Amino acid sequence: MIMKILLIAAVIGVVYFMFIKKKPQGSVKNTAKKDEPQASDMVECAECGVYTQLSDSILSGSKYYCSQECLEKAS
């Protein structure tokens, strides 16, 4: 009788941990990638303060610029 109760408890435990309680996959990897800027992120120009997309901005000396003119003004 006790073996049947233990067996049923074990089956319920396995079903719970396999199907009901799912672990978040890649949670460590996602937090590490959040710190890196994405291509669709907006960045502020270091010279004039205008926000542009990261893919359209110019990176110089760890600062982002919206155009070549702002880059030349900063130099």
Cα 73 from Cα 56, distance rounded (Å): 18
Q: Would the pTM count as exceeding 0.85?
A: no
Range of the domain at 28: 2-74
C-alpha dihedral (38, 36, 54, 57), degrees to nearest 10: -160
Domain count of the fold of the chain? 1
* Tens-place pLDDT, residues 13-66: 888 888 876 666 655 555 555 666 666 788 999 999 999 998 889 999 889 999
